[in-house]
Amino acid sequence: MKTETYQLLRRLHDRHGPREFGKICQKLLAIACRLAGFEHVVERGVQGVDVDVALLTERYATEVKTTEKDSVVFQQKDMEGLASRRQDGYQPLLAVLRLSPFSDWHLVSIEHLRTGNLLIASLRPYRRRDLEERLTPRFDEGLGAHFDGAWADSQSYLDKVLRNLGVQVLDTE
Amino acid sequence: MLTPRTLKVRGFRGFLNEQEFRFDTPVVILFGENHSGKSSTLNALEWCLFGDECKGIQTGIRERVGWIVPNRHLDRPDVLVELTLDGPDGTYRVCRRLYKAPKKTTLVEELEVCLPDGKPVEREKAEQQLTRLLGCSSRDFMTTVYQHQETIRGIVIEKPKERNEAIDRLLGLSGYTNLLSGINDASLQRRHKKIGKDFEDFETRVQDILAVWEKELNAKRQEAGVIGNRLTGSGTLAAAREVQQSLKAFAERAGLEPVALELPAGWQSLPAFEKSAKQILSELRAATPDLQEQQRLLDRRKELARLQSDYESARTHRDNIGKKTRELDTEHGGRKAVTARIASMDQTRKAEEARRRAIDALAALIEEAINYLERSDEDGPTNRCPVCETEAPNLLATLSKKLETARQGQLNKIGDKIEGLKRSLEALSKIDEAYEKLDKQLARLVEELSTARREIGELLGKELTDADDPLALLKSELAGLAHRLKQLSDAVQEKQAALQKIEEDLDKVHTAREILQLAEKKQFADRIQESPEYQALEAARDRLALFVADVEAVKSALLAASSEEAHQKLTAAERAIDEYFRQLTRSPDVRQIQLKLNADARGRNAYDITDQDGNDLTPILSQGDLNALALAVFLGLASCSAAVSGFGFVLLDDPSQSLGSEHKKQLCKILDRVCDTRRVLLATMDREFYEYLRDGLTKAKTEYTFGAWTAENGVRVGRR
């Protein structure tokens, strides 16, 4: 990722802590999807698949994981949640962001994944580079535009942004 | 399948002379006492096929450690073992030699394989040919073909991992096991993780650097009052342009040479601009006319002040001297009076000294007269005056006394007077000296005043006359200077303030440029990521991850294939294993023996040997039962043609060990069945078992009996 992006994310992480940071990234990814042209975007702050996006017949259901380590835990319930979206025509994806200057979003097809602790490097063969290339610049753009708001008001600010962009936000409210 | 046809042995372990064995019947029995050469015969066959592989600790057999191949009683080791094998495409002849070459200290091993077409191959090619032909390692051979007591028993009593591997070998699955071990030994996952860790370390270093720079950058931003990232290169260049224009305008206003300061095209080149601007600022400060005038006036004021001080000081001294002179005059009436008094007193002193000398002379004369009178009165002292002849008793003595008294009286008076005069003269001389000193000082001060006056005139630019008061002139000049200096000071301060402002603007340009540089420095991580080298590295990491995933897939496939093949073979052999075990042991508790296939934590084949109820049999069986179990597994698989290796024979070395008579009989029956699918080469020292074999085996047999071994004759073999 770009240094600027990394540093902004690092500041958000240091301010809000890893858990909140994960939620912020999820919402920023939803914003990026919307900015990338996906017409139908659903972001879930509640249990279930984190982000659903659709553009005509192109549909993805995404589980979002953020970490500072070299691996993420892909749980059985994540796998099952994603698999259940297949019936609606959604391709299940695992979106992994490692907070590091040389990392980028890994958008990974889950077909070949097992559950448990996954080494991020082992996800490489299954990356959807086409999607990553579409979303990463939009993510940087969204982060740049909404950093101040996310810094100050975190999720509540980003929820407003999402709603203004026409994204369906499902949260605990 | 490979089956042995003949074996020639010479010089191998117990063998001295060449012996030939023929294995062309379904059963070959080697019978003889312990240490008669039976096992050496089977070992010779094994050594011929595998060479040094069947030696050493890796065999898992204690006696193979430190195993000596050549006969120790030969003067010159010369081992030859030649084996002919019938294979699917004809007969192979394998000949392995080990000998001591002339003038060599080490032994030389040679291998020759003669192919079915009669073409011999040697050394490395022969080894390759043989490896292809056998298709297994010595260790596999030891479990699938050669029933060695130690290795076979290991199948049922070794640790689970080793036991599973041994059964895999017995099932001919070592190809899978070896591949899986090779994959595991390559530690791809670990290495992949290590590469990831190396990247992570690198990233951590980058993160640390970025954090330090970010901190530095924030400090600079704060110092410069820059908010967020709003500072730009073009903005900084614009600020530099303002500095340039301010400097030019200042020089013009001050009437100085025009400033030559070029603005760079990009902000990255600003350091040179900043350096030049600093230099120009320094020069402008020094070259400002007002400043120079101020300095000149300050110098003049200093000089005037010095002259004023000198003049005033000299004049004060002069006045003091006048005062002192006047005081002396008052006291002593002036220097002339003092001089006159000195002269008068000196004259008086001289007169008194002359009077004293006259009195002394008169007294001397009178004293001489008295002495004369005394010398002229021969009759003794006269009492008559010589002049008037009047009675004068003791006249001379009286005269002498009076003379002395009178002289002393006068001389003392005169002496006192002279001394008084001298003291007065001395005092007057000191006063005169004081006058003298004051006069000299006065003369010097007058000179000084004159010099100062001249210098004042020179400094003021006019010739001073007696009518001029130098001090008043100086004060007037100093007052004028003070006024001018005040004006200049205001002007200089104003200009310095202007220069200071320019300098501050230049400092801002400097800070802004540093901020931009730091911000740009931070982009190094972007440049790394955009570089072709990094892209290539990323691609390599992708390939590596794909390779690791592929290898993992291969591993999974191998495990699945190994498991499936094991399942097939066990299914085929399970009946035979069960039957053989029950036949051998006739244990009432064990109605059925089962070899169950599972997977261990690594996904490898794991085998449980259980009874009909699923209980592990190994802890409850006797030594004989365990032996029987091992034999049952070995022979069960051996008798199942679909089950195991490409060898059409089994080697059994003392299989009746730990077996009772009934066990032996049953073993004999089992072997008779094994002979249906495998040629059996069997060595035993057990006469009872030998008898059972001779009578019980229904297949054609070749028997070799081994006589007592001696060092001189070696193995002695007879064929029946």
Q: Which residues of chain B are within 8 Å of residue A97 when distances are taken between CB atoms?
A: none
Q: Which residues of chain B are within 8 Å of residue A124 when distances are taken between CB atoms?
A: 541-542, 545-546
| A44-71 pLDDT, tens digit each | 987 778 999 998 889 999 999 999 998 9
> At which residue do the structure tokens 């979106």 appear?
A95
Lowest mean pLDDT among B273-287, B402-416, B517-531: B517-531
- Whether B184 and B656 have beta carbons less than 8 Å apart is answered as no
Lowest mean pLDDT among A28-37, B329-338, B606-615: B606-615
Q: What is the mean pLDDT of residues B528-555?
A: 90
Output B120 or B657, whichever has higher pLDDT. Answer: B120
Q: What is the mean pLDDT of residues A153-172?
A: 90
Question: What region does B706 belong to: left with phi over 0, alpha with psi -120 to 50, or beta?
Answer: beta
* B37, B141, B375, B536 from B45: Cα distances, Å: 13, 11, 182, 55
CA distance B197 to B537: 15
Residues 6 or more apart in contact with residue A110 via CB below 8 angstroms: A74, A79, A82, A83, A92, A93, A94, A126
Total beta-carbon pairs less than 8 A apart between chain A and chain B: 58
Strand order of the β-sheet with B27-32 is B146-147, B649-653, B679-684, B27-32, B701-706, B717-719
pLDDT confidence tier of residue B643, bands split at 50, 70 and 90 = very low
What is the model's pLDDT at position B157?
Answer: 65
Q: Which residues of chain A are within 8 Å of residue B197 when distances are taken between CB atoms?
A: 70
What is the model's pLDDT at position B686?
Answer: 95
What is the model's pLDDT at position B641?
Answer: 55
List the single residue in B with minimal CA-CA distance to A4.
B523
| B301-312 pLDDT, tens digit each | 999 999 999 899
Picking from B113, B116, B95, B91, the residue whose alpha carbon sits closest to that of residue B5 is: B91
What is the model's pLDDT at position B119?
Answer: 95
| B667-694 pLDDT, tens digit each | 999 999 899 888 999 999 999 999 999 9
| B424-446 pLDDT, tens digit each | 999 999 999 999 999 999 999 99
Q: Which residues pair with A51 in a beta bridge?
A: A43, A62
Q: Which residues of chain B are within 8 Å of residue A151 when distances are taken between CB atoms?
A: none
| A80-137 pLDDT, tens digit each | 999 999 988 999 999 999 999 889 999 999 998 999 999 999 999 999 999 999 999 9
What is the model's pLDDT at position B379?
Answer: 64
| B622-632 pLDDT, tens digit each | 777 777 877 88
> At which residue do the structure tokens 């691996």 appear?
A71
Selected for mutation to probe chain B from A109, A124, A133 (highest B CB count within 10 Å) is A124
What is the model's pLDDT at position A173?
Answer: 44
Lowest mean pLDDT among A32-36, B374-378, B700-704: B374-378
What is the model's pLDDT at position B149?
Answer: 67
Q: Strand locations in A16-57, DSSP E? A: 40-44, 51-55
> At which residue do the structure tokens 């901020």 appear?
B515
- φ, ψ of residue B68 to 5 degrees: the values are -105, 120
pLDDT at B227 over 60: no
Q: Average pLDDT of chain B?
A: 88
Cβ separation A70–B197 shorter than 8 A: yes
Question: ipTM strictly over 0.90?
Answer: no
- Whether B652 and B682 have beta carbons less than 8 Å apart is answered as yes
Interhelix angle B149-157/B623-639, rounded to 10 degrees, is 100
What is the model's pLDDT at position B49?
Answer: 95
Q: What is the mean pLDDT of residues B273-299?
A: 87
What is the model's pLDDT at position B156?
Answer: 63
- φ, ψ of residue A102 to 5 degrees: the values are -110, 15
Of the candidates A4, A101, A122, which has its C-beta nearest B207's C-beta? A101
